[in-house]
Amino acid sequence: MKVTGLAIVPPPEASGMPRVTPELLASVLARYSRSNDGLGAILAKVDLDDPGASIDRILRFVDYGHASIGGLTGGIAVAVDDVSMWLAYKLFEISQMADGQESSTRYITMNPTNVPEAGEIGIPEELAEEWSELLADAFAAYGGEYRRLDREAECNPAVVRCPEGAKPAVVKRLRKNYALDRARYFVPFATRTNLALVMTSRMWAETVKHLASLPQPEARRAADLLRAELEKISPRLMRHSQRDESFARQAEADLAYSIETGLSGLSHEALPDRTWVKIDAETPPFLPETQPVPEALRHRANRYGRAGRALRRMRAAFAWNNLAVAELRDLNRHRTGHRFTPLVQHGFYLPPEIDVAAHRSLLERQTVFLRRLLEAGSPAYPYALLLGSQTPFEHVTQGDKFIYEAELRTGMGAHFRYAEHLSAALDRFFESVPEARDWVWKGLAEPE
């Protein structure tokens, strides 16, 4: 695991602007909010060559509960290399106010050497060899299915649905993606990946505190490495990133819930789709909503257009009983509202192009191994999941945010399985809000 902070420098066009460190920016803007002198007068009182004293005078207020000052540091960018897909998922789950990206399964190494050592992630010593063999067999299944699907797509290009007139390079890329996106369900959740996040010192401190309070050794190591790197950029605010008892107790409760839920429904048989959508458009009697839903939607040229207040005030909750971890990785990165999953295996998804019977032995072994970790109460159980493991997943947000996600995940270039899940959720949404049907773009996940 490697953590690298990225120091952002101004472009040449900004050479005449005041230059401040993240913590000096926070302290100057905090003083600005408590002064009538103007920004220039405040900066004139700061020794830009030795800003420590000015920073310390103001940032001490963070210790007294004024946490919002920590949000004035601007975006601090950090890259995290060679962490498990589980830890990447956890970082995005925790960092709900971050911007970020994770490496796609189309571009990372898929072989048994690209996973952490069993001892690094808490796999019990007596199970380490069996875990390694299981993951090696999962990678072999991935590689075999990828090669088979790629050959089939080459022989029958119609299955890829290439756009008419596509150039040979585009046809080849789409064919590869067709095979990669269907074989990926065998990829272990322990596979190493890379990610980058950009957020304020306040949110970094909260994220590192959360990681430091988790029972998984990989999370705690990441907390230490992140803190050490971030202290170079924002040393005072990172004092608030240590393990917190309330975070640790809730992590224990969440783990106990996941283990109980996981054992009660553990299976490798494919779960049929169930989609749940709940829409609440009720408003206070003293502040009624008068905007018709079509009026709230009709002015948008695409999903990036602004929806009206009738949608922004609408509460939308949606959930699936069987979201594969492959899809969870991306849907978990939609930042609005609250997302929740026990992260367990209640079934296993394979696309129709793959013969389940050919892999039944692997899936049975994986499920037995997972049960052993769950029965032992091991926080390392997620490292035995594969990307095809199906788990319940819930997201609670607003109507306009739900529509954006549904249009994105059914639109051009969307993964075929995203499109199935979000298409079903849109159908349920239209049952509750039929007047939105003509103003929401439900795509067909055309390749791009």
Cα separation, 370 vs 192, whole angstroms: 19
Residues in the chain: 448
- Indicate the CATH number for domain 252-349+388-439: 3.30.70
Predicted confidence (pLDDT) per residue in 13-34, tens digit: 888 888 888 888 877 777 777 7
Nearest to 207 by CA among 106, 125, 313, 92: 92
Return the H-helix or E-strand segment holding 131.
Answer: helix 128-155
Kindly give the parts of the chain with pLDDT less than 70. 48, 53-54, 57-70, 448
343: DSSP letter: -
Distances (CA, A) of 175 to 17, 106, 170, 372, 385: 49, 12, 8, 39, 27
Following CA atoms 239, 243, 246, 251 in sequence, which dihedral angle do they give, to the nearest 10 degrees?
140
Please state, as a whole number, how many other Cβ atoms lie within 10 Å of the Cβ of residue 332.
21
| Residue 159 token pair | 């299955």
Cβ–Cβ < 8 Å for 23, 234: yes
- Contact partners, residue 328, CB within 8 Å, separation at least 6: 89, 341, 343, 391, 393
Cα separation, 333 vs 424, whole angstroms: 20
Cα separation, 61 vs 27, whole angstroms: 10
Cα separation, 197 vs 3, whole angstroms: 11
| Residue 172 token pair | 């080849």
Domain spans of the chain, in order of start: 2-80+192-243, 252-349+388-439
Predicted confidence at residue 67, as pLDDT, reads 58
- Contact partners, residue 102, CB within 8 Å, separation at least 6: 88, 92, 193, 194, 195, 329, 333
Report residue 220 CA to chain centroid gap: 19
Predicted confidence at residue 203, as pLDDT, reads 92
Please state the pTM of the whole predicted model.
Answer: 0.92
Distances (CA, A) of 63 to 34, 58, 237, 240: 18, 10, 9, 9
Report residue 196 CA to chain centroid gap: 11
